[in-house]
Amino acid sequence: MKTKLDTAVSKFRDGYNCAQSVLYAHCDELKLNKDTALRLACGFGAGMGRKEEVCGAVSGGILVLGLRHGRGEKDDEAAKETTYARTMELMDKFQRRHGSFICRQLLNGIDLTTDEGRKSLKEDDLLNRVCVPCVESVMTILEQMR
């Protein structure tokens, strides 16, 4: 049986971005339509639309936390506070493992908004050397946070 971690890495290797891959792997647990999840997380990849801000895997993890614990229409303020605390925990643990949760820092400053930067990403195998471990870390952290 495929684990959530296996599903996330497989989805990433199939060409979906890091945020999509993390959220997609949790669809069954969250009772979330898979196509909706892929669309929802699409803009968060590569640090939000290639702006290389917060790592997309981390953003995908935050989406999972929001769906698990977030404040909906019938929830009180405590749900928001719980979600914020869990978001900080995820980000802190990720930063301890990788030194940063900022995509451009994780990718050593390459500029994904340029053709040259995207070429470097592929040529230097950063998707496998940096991004896959980031997806794996977020999946592991989320599992530990259950």
Pairwise CA distance, residues 60 & 36, whole Å: 13
Q: What is the pLDDT of residue 146?
A: 83
Q: pTM for this one?
A: 0.97
The list of the chain residues with pLDDT below 70 reads none
The number of folded domains in the chain is 1
CB 129 within 8 A of CB 49: no
pLDDT value of position 43: 98
Residue 96, domain extent: 4-144
